[in-house]
């Protein structure tokens, strides 16, 4: 079956191993307005490596997020993880219509998709003429297992939302990154490379973005949860107490030296290693700027340490900086949560497509 199509006015829903994030955008002329948002924690184990393991728990948490946010629409977009999607660029004669392209994709599915077509959800988009061959057109094909789509849409429905679009995380992030590039004033140079460091709860992801697309990625199993664990172990706290102390402060004077600095050292080393591997892979375009994202990106001192080590300017992500904000929202709270809202924001930006 085809993936669901976009809808005007959307809620972006991002489901990670640590949280459920909900963000509603409404298009206002050539910009967006943030209408509502919510972030709610998930029980450990409910989602593992971006895959839902306990749909009841996730749906209940999402339902509470919807209740808190009070969105003006129930139409929602959600994304399958990049690791679950197959993305290919194909070529077809320019004479073929979209219906004919769909027929060809179905007929040739065994060449492009590594699992039975009866289990597949797919979509495609015509990119335009193929380079060096005016009689061919480029088509991007995206496919995943139908069960992945069904699980996500069922989660939305259980929470009282209406599935309006299913995307891939990579594409959602690229939309948010396009907004960030305009803020960084590198949008005028299509060859300018921006490094994105996404420090989540359990994963540290490094991406290089060029020409509006992610051209390099590297994931490391290390994130903010490791800092929480270090606080718990060093000060003999419960995991809940450690998480609260990490966010609100009030830890002993030796926290910076004994716990925080070793964590920052590890993140900085990982960023340096990722940059090294990017260049070792033969990439010719130099990374000119680093954007820091993820729930752990606001840890005091992290941006400064990465900037000092890399020699580059480091900006903490806020995809909503140029957008209008509904007056009923807490702008300070949204700004604090913004670095972790790239996927949810990118999904909601489908409202403008």
Residues 245-288 pLDDT 10s: 888 888 999 999 999 999 999 999 999 999 999 999 877 789 99
Question: Residue 112: inside a domain, yes or no?
Answer: yes
Q: What is the phi/psi pair of residue 180, to 5°?
A: -65, -40
Residues 223-249 pLDDT 10s: 999 999 999 999 999 998 998 888 888
Question: Residue 114: inside a domain, yes or no?
Answer: yes
- pLDDT of residue 6 exceeding 50: no
pLDDT of res. 187: 58
Spell out the residues 6+ positions from residue 314 whose beta carbon is closer than 8 angstroms to its own. 289, 290, 291, 292, 303, 304, 306, 307
Residues 189-224 pLDDT 10s: 767 899 999 999 888 999 999 888 898 999 998 999
Question: Residue 119: inside a domain, yes or no?
Answer: yes
Residues 68-123 pLDDT 10s: 999 999 999 999 998 899 999 999 999 999 999 999 999 999 998 988 889 999 99
Confidence of residue 353 (pLDDT cuts 50, 70, 90): low
Spell out the residues 6+ positions from residue 273 whose beta carbon is closer than 8 angstroms to its own. none
pLDDT of res. 208: 93
pLDDT of res. 188: 62
Q: 21: which 2 tokens?
A: 């994030």
Three-state DSSP at 131 gives coil
Q: Which helix (H) or strand (E) holds 222?
A: none
Burial-class residue 38 by CB neighbours within 10 Å (0-12, 13-18, 19+).
Answer: buried
User: Residue 132 belongs to what domain range?
Assistant: 84-146
Query: For strand 47-48 and strand 51-52, is the pairing parallel, antiparallel, or unpaired?
Result: antiparallel
Distances (CA, A) of 42 to 15, 89, 148, 278, 307: 9, 36, 19, 33, 32
Whole-angstrom Cα distance, residue 339 to residue 335?
8
Residues 295-346 pLDDT 10s: 899 888 999 999 999 999 999 999 999 899 999 999 999 999 999 999 999 9
Confidence of residue 348 (pLDDT cuts 50, 70, 90): very high
Question: Residue 171: inside a domain, yes or no?
Answer: no
pLDDT of res. 7: 43
Instruction: Specify the CATH number for the domain of residue 127.
Output: 3.30.1490.300
Question: Residue 174: inside a domain, yes or no?
Answer: no
Within 10 angstroms of residue 118's Cβ, the number of other Cβ atoms is: 8
pLDDT of res. 186: 61
Among residues 117, 101, 120, 218, the alpha carbon closest in space to that of 166 is found at 120
Question: Residue 175: inside a domain, yes or no?
Answer: no
Longest dimension (CA), the chain: 70
Question: Residue 195: inside a domain, yes or no?
Answer: no
- Which position has the higher pLDDT, 351 or 38? 38
Domain tally for the chain? 1
- How many residues does the structure list for the chain? 353
Question: Residue 113: inside a domain, yes or no?
Answer: yes
Whole-angstrom Cα distance, residue 56 to residue 79?
18
pLDDT of res. 159: 98
């Amino acid at each position: 079956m085809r993936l669901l199509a976009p809808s005007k006015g959307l809620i972006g829903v991002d489901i990670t191993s640590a949280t459920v994030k909900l963000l509603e955008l409404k298009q206002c002329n050539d910009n967006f307005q943030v209408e509502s948002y919510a972030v709610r924690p998930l029980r450990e184990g409910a989602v593992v490596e971006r895959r839902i393991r306990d749909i009841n728990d996730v749906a209940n948490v999402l339902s509470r997020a919807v209740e808190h946010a009070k969105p003006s629409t129930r139409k929602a977009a959600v994304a399958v993880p990049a690791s679950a999607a197959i993305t290919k660029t194909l070529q077809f004669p320019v004479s073929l219509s979209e219906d004919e392209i769909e027929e060809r994709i179905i007929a040739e599915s065994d060449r492009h998709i590594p699992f039975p077509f009866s289990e597949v959800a797919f979509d495609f988009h015509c990119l335009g003429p193929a380079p060096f061959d005016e009689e061919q057109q480029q088509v991007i094909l995206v496919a995943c297992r139908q069960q992945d789509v069904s699980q996500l849409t069922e989660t939305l429905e259980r929470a009282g939302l209406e599935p309006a679009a299913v995307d891939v995380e990579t594409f959602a992030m690229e939309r948010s990154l396009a907004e960030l590039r305009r803020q960084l004033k590198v949008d005028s140079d299509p060859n300018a490379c921006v490094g994105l460091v996404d420090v989540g709860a359990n994963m540290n992801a490094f991406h290089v973005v060029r020409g509006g697309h992610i051209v390099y990625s590297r994931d490391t199993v290390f994130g903010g949860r490791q800092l929480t664990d270090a606080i718990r172990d060093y000060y003999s706290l419960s995991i809940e107490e450690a998480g609260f102390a990490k966010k609100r402060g009030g830890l002993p004077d030796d926290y910076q030296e004994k716990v925080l600095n070793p964590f920052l050292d590890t993140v900085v080393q990982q960023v340096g290693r990722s940059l090294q591997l990017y260049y070792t892979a033969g990439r010719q375009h130099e990374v000119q700027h680093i954007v820091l994202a993820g729930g752990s990106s606001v840890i005091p001192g992290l941006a400064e340490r990465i900037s000092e080590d890399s020699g580059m300017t480091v900006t903490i992500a806020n995809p909503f900086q140029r957008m209008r904000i509904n007056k009923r929202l807490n702008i300070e709270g949204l700004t604090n949560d913004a670095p972790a809202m790239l996927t949810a924001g990118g999904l909601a930006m489908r409202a403008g497509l």
